[in-house]
Chain A
Amino acid sequence: MRMRRFRQADWDEPLIFELGWEGRAGFSVPAVEPEVRDEVGEVEELIPINILREEPPRLPEVSEVEVLRHYIHLSQMNYGVNSSGIYPLGSCTMKYNPVINEVLASNPALTEIHPDQDEATIQGILELLYRLKIWLQELTGMEDGSLEPAAGAQGEFLGNLIMRAYHADRGELERRREVIIPDSAHGTNPASAAMAGFKVVEVPSGEDGCVDLEALKSVVGEGTAGLMLTNPNTLGIFESRISEIAEIVHRAGGLMYYDGANLNALMGRCRPGDMGFDIVHLNLHKTFSTPHGGGGPGSGPVLVKAFLSDYLPVPVVVYRDGLYRLSYDRPKTVGKVHGYYGNISPILKAYAYILSMGGEGLREASEIAVLNSNYLAQRLKDVRGLSLPYAPGVPRKHEFVLSASKMAEETGVRALHIAKRLLDYGIHAPTIYFPLIVPEALMIEPTETEPLEALDRLVEAFEEISSLAYSKPEEVQSSPRNTTVGRLDDVKASHPRTMCLSYRMLRKTR
């Protein structure tokens, strides 16, 4: 197969501030009706002078067509999973985002609803929230939950607050100050636990890439508030001793928290609730196909076992006397993490996705995600200079982690260089240098929505890169070349003397 050529668009696009002409406008604001003006007079005479803006904000003055072209040009300089191709970022689950879900979410019967509307006027959306929560409980084996968190990390924060409230309620918060987290965990785990006021205790992985049970036993105790774990872990390996782990933590009085970033491996096959987890967060923007939007919005529902229901945030959608209602009657609630009820637009897209797939389709999605991942792992581990560390022979789940340390030693071509070279093929790079326990890590998650042909192209690209690394390493190291820009100066971007975080800062330096 001949590798297809790739060239990303490059418009050399100026900043929006550098476009336009004084007096131009991109939008016509409705005029104040003459009767209204006659009645109220001039605004400038109404407003107290000491709070009136003297200088207008220095916004661009551009016409509609200039704005449209500018942002379309920018879009063309951006790689998307629907528009561009395979996006194998490990732990990010960049699956195809179905177009129908976008169409449904643009219905004014959703977009035009204000969050303070009377419950009687929004029965449709409340019913949708009510039902989705039940489906998510079914999928995870949990018993209650909240759709409020706006992202996975906010779900983790909420989950940790629930742990806090639970221990405080039992009079044990004073001594239960520690949350245990494996060294292979996502960075948000320790950050979320710390944000909730806990001390993070790291537990090392054993030689099999899983939690070292002896090490775990040595840190679990009276001070343990809980354990945060993702299963399969970030190496893509299922923690098969999860029941023992849960028992150790539970016996000590701690709670089990499941980071749902990796749920895409397990739908219909295995449920966190059955593994002994007490709190679960999901990422609707990963497992349930809602788009990442270039960084967000996501949605990070939290699900719990019934004994933690009292601590969930308010309000809760309940069904009573033939009506869906928002109930604030939860005296032990942790409060609220979001101003309203969560990111409803992604929630609707996830609802539509689940309806499309059904229980059976979700199970097949997970199975194919795992099949694709193992297929790639099998083919890539034999590429010269690469290896698949930890647990040889154990099947991976939805993702796997390669190490390029041999290639780095032998040729000087590192994981970073491989990632950049992949971009030149029009293939998005994997997650690199994570998890931290693998040197020169390349973490690959193909998802279930990539055709076999795309997986084979990825393998071929790796093979070509490897052979180039062993013949002309500088060519790999100087990638990318086919992207909008080449390698960028990160040091300059972050150095206090040269950093430029806004056009205002840029103006000051000129």
Chain B
Amino acid sequence: MSRANPYLPNSVQEIKERMMERLGIRSIDELYSDIPEELRFKGELRIPGPHSEEEVRRVVTALLERNWRFRCPPFLGGGVYPHYVPAVVDEIVRRAEFLTSYTPYQPEVSQGMLQAIFEYQSLICELVGLDVACASLYDWSSALGEAARMANRLNHRSTILVPHLMSPRRLTVLKTYTEPVGMKVRGVDYDRETGLLDLDDLLVKVDGRVAAVYLENPSYLGFVEEEAEAVGEIAHESGALFIVGVDPISLGLLKAPGDYGADIVIGEGQPLGNHMNYGGPLLGIFACRDDPQMIRQIPGRLIGMTETLDGSRRGYVMALQAREQHIRREKATSNICSNEALCALAGAVYLSLLGPTGLRELCEVLVSRARYAMRRICELPGVRAPIFSSFHFKEFTVSLLDKPVYEVHKRLLERGIHGGKPLVGEFPELGEVALYCVTERHTKEDIDLLVSALGEALEG
């Protein structure tokens, strides 16, 4: 007799037979009898296994252990960040009641997740300064694609203006998302001294065909767009929407985009209590103004507060489902169905734990340590950090004047340190530059270690 598979309670022969008897069949093959003979797969799948749990653990762990460990977290940012994830967040998102539930199509048995996502939406609204946030999109990149398409649906214009210095990956996704609707993406130049979006160039390029102006704040290279409000005014004067992409952590210190004119705010929610996981799952933030036309066009799920039919108490349901694919099919605002609910839950727990004070303190740690790192790095010969004079949040550029950035990168790796991301492929015009990120997990000792390793790498 074959061994029972632990995931298959009915793999016991006696049970199978009893069920087949009820169906009046002698073999499971009969249930596949309607599949034409020539389509039946008759070979053996070349897939290893079955394996015991212990074997699976050994094999997968051995594979993962081949990934390097460093002496401190990588100095990498750019959209995914090595922030600390509080233990309580992991404790909550591991709960089977949340983890193993489906989209809450039956609200009466799913109030827990519905309320948690309503809280997530609410917390995001508080951060970004707008009244409406969706339950999550896949990531910052697809949120940008969706935002551009939403702008196009709202004002029927077909160009989106973006900063030349934006994340090239997000730019690629934006183009992939907008090409089918015939939208054009145009870059806006930057000030060579400050890095800030060049308002003169923006004024030249903004016209009646521009659906939206997009700004990243903090920018991909870490500096803060302090003239964001003016960018929004220019967008609005030409009838374009103003879309702002954010690192939500920064909003403990930086002005809420809703307070400087943003119509749509998007961003990456991963730093809010989600591990990096080699870049996925992430958490696409998407928020907009409380405007009936905008709300009708928002992509993704929305959780709303309501009451029981007898009016006796509060409850939560999926609201405005008529925008979504399962009702609206080809006329839906987006095709999204599965989203990143569990990551949004992590975000809600994270923001609840930190609160306004914790988030502010965290921002101060980031700004202080990043600035400390820049100062120390600048003391090294032949190095400049950052290349732009603006205020930086937690990321910054490091420019090497007389060494190839990849060579130094390799030498840091040899010393057990993962430095910043070389930008020579993405922005060759900036020279031998890498993008560094410092978080609260990089202590002063870690930064000092980086600086001394950089010094050695530069000498060698």
Contacts and interface: CB of A to CB of B under 8 A. Distances in A.
Interface string B344-385: 010011011111111111111101110110010000000000
Contacts of B106: 79, 419-420, 423, 428-429
Contacts of B119: 15-17, 503
B355 A61 contact: yes
A95 B141 CA distance: 31
Contact of A39 (B275, B308, B329, B375): B375
Contacts of A275: 39
Interface centre among B82, B227, B338, B444 (most CB of A within 10 A): B338
B135 interface: yes
Interface string B91-119: 11111111111111111111111011111
A94 B140 contact: no
Contact of A112 (B138, B276, B372): B276
B401 interface: no
Contacts of A351: 60
Nearest to A358: B49
Contacts of A150: 138-139, 142, 280-282, 338, 340
Contact of A294 (B5, B31, B98, B172): B98
B101 A359 contact: no
Contacts of A502: 118, 121-122, 125, 131-133
A338 B445 CA distance: 35
A467 interface: no
Q: How large is the interface on B (under 10, 10 to 19, 20 to 34, 35 or more residues)?
A: 35 or more
A245 B127 CA distance: 52
A122 B68 contact: yes
A378 to B, nearest CB: 6
Interface stretch (A81-89, A302-310, A406-414): A81-89
Interface in A40-60: 40, 43, 46-48, 50-54, 56-60
A32 B142 CA distance: 35
Nearest to A148: B280
Given A494-B321, A505-B131, A51 B353 contact: no
Contacts of A111: 275-277
A361 B357 CA distance: 52
A488 interface: yes
A110 interface: yes
B110 A79 contact: yes
Interface string A60-86: 111010011011111111111111100
Given A293-B341, A355-B59, A449-B7, A485 B335 contact: no
B136 interface: yes
Contacts of B67: 109-110, 113, 121-125
A110 B278 CA distance: 7
A71 B70 CA distance: 34
B320 interface: yes
B367 A43 contact: yes
B30 interface: yes
B1 interface: no
Contact of A161 (B56, B82, B121, B176): B176
Interface in A209-264: 237-238, 240, 242-243
A217 to B, nearest CB: 20
B355 A190 contact: no
A89 B50 contact: no
Interface stretch (B154-162, B205-213, B252-260): B252-260
Interface stretch (B19-27, B233-241, B452-460): B19-27
A121 B414 CA distance: 11
Given A125-B67, A191-B335, A240 B34 contact: yes
B73 A112 contact: yes
A342 B316 CA distance: 31
A151 B336 contact: yes
B46 A359 contact: yes
B440 A345 contact: no
Contacts of A113: 67, 276-278
29 contacts: A16-B348, A48-B391, A59-B352, A61-B356, A74-B116, A76-B97, A78-B113, A80-B98, A83-B95, A114-B76, A116-B78, A120-B68, A125-B63, A154-B138, A194-B330, A293-B343, A294-B342, A338-B142, A339-B268, A356-B49, A362-B45, A368-B16, A370-B32, A371-B20, A449-B7, A486-B308, A492-B306, A496-B292, A505-B131
Q: Closest 5 interchain pairs by CB?
A: A358-B49, A340-B279, A115-B279, A359-B45, A293-B342
Given A434-B326, A502-B132, 8 more contacts: A29-B358, A30-B440, A78-B98, A114-B82, A152-B338, A341-B279, A395-B30, A480-B108
